C-alpha cells in the first residue's frame, strides 16, 4: 500500500514553470517535478523555521504576488539567483536610511524590495536581467 496520497493544489504557473526549469536543468538536483515539490516540503520539515519572506509575499495583494511570480520565473529560466545582489541592495537601502534594522525589519524590507525589483523588471526586463547577471 502506498504511503502517498494524491492531493490537488493550485500553483501559480510562473512558479511551477520556474521549478520545472530548475529540475530540467539540474539546478536543484531532483529527478522530477514531483520529487522537487516533495523535497521542498521535506526541506521545510528538516529546517523547521518560518519563512518570513515568502509568508509576507503570501499576504500581499494578488497583483503584487503575480508580479513577483513572473519576475521569479524570468530569473529561474535564466538561472539567476538573487542571493548576493539582493543582500547588497538591502544593505545599501539600510545605509541610505541611516538606520540599523533589526532582523524583523529586514524581513519586512525583503518582500517590498523584491516587489520593487519585479516592478522595475516589468518596465525594463532586459536591463534588469542584465544588471543581475553582471552583479
Cell triple for residue 25?
A: 536543468
CA-to-CA dists, residue 7 to 4, 34, 77, 121, angstroms: 9, 12, 27, 34
Residues 2-15: pLDDT tens digits? 888 888 999 999 99
Q: What is the pLDDT of residue 96?
A: 67
- DSSP annotation of 98 reads T
Q: How confident is the model at residue 52 (pLDDT cuts 50, 70, 90)?
A: confident
Q: What is the pLDDT of residue 83?
A: 78
Q: What is the pLDDT of residue 110?
A: 80
Taking residues 26-54, what's their average pLDDT?
A: 93
Identify the H or E element spanning 129.
Answer: helix 125-134
Cell triple for residue 89?
A: 541592495
Residues 57-115: pLDDT tens digits? 999 999 999 999 999 999 999 988 887 777 677 667 656 665 666 666 666 778 888 89
| 83-96 helix and 103-123 helix, angle to the nearest 10 degrees | 110
118 vs 105, residue with greater confidence = 118
Question: Could you give the CA distance from residue 8 to residue 47 in angstroms, rounded to a whole number?
Answer: 25
Residues whose CB is less than 8 angstroms from the CB of residue 35 and which lie 6 or more positions away in sequence, other chains included: 23
Amino acid at each position: 500500500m502506498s504511503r502517498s496520497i494524491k492531493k490537488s493544489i493550485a500553483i501559480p504557473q510562473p512558479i511551477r514553470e520556474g521549478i520545472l526549469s530548475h529540475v530540467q536543468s539540474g539546478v536543484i538536483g531532483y529527478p522530477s517535478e514531483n520529487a522537487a515539490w516533495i523535497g521542498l516540503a521535506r526541506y521545510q520539515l528538516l529546517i523547521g523555521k518560518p519563512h518570513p519572506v515568502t509568508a509576507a509575499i503570501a499576504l500581499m495583494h494578488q497583483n503584487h504576488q503575480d508580479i513577483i511570480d513572473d519576475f521569479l520565473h524570468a530569473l529561474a529560466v535564466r538561472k539567476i539567483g538573487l542571493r548576493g545582489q539582493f543582500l547588497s541592495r538591502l544593505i545599501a537601502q539600510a545605509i541610505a536610511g541611516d538606520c540599523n534594522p533589526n532582523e524583523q525589519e529586514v524581513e519586512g524590507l525583503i518582500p517590498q524590495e523584491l516587489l520593487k525589483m519585479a516592478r522595475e523588471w516589468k518596465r525594463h526586463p532586459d536591463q534588469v536581467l542584465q544588471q543581475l547577471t553582471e552583479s
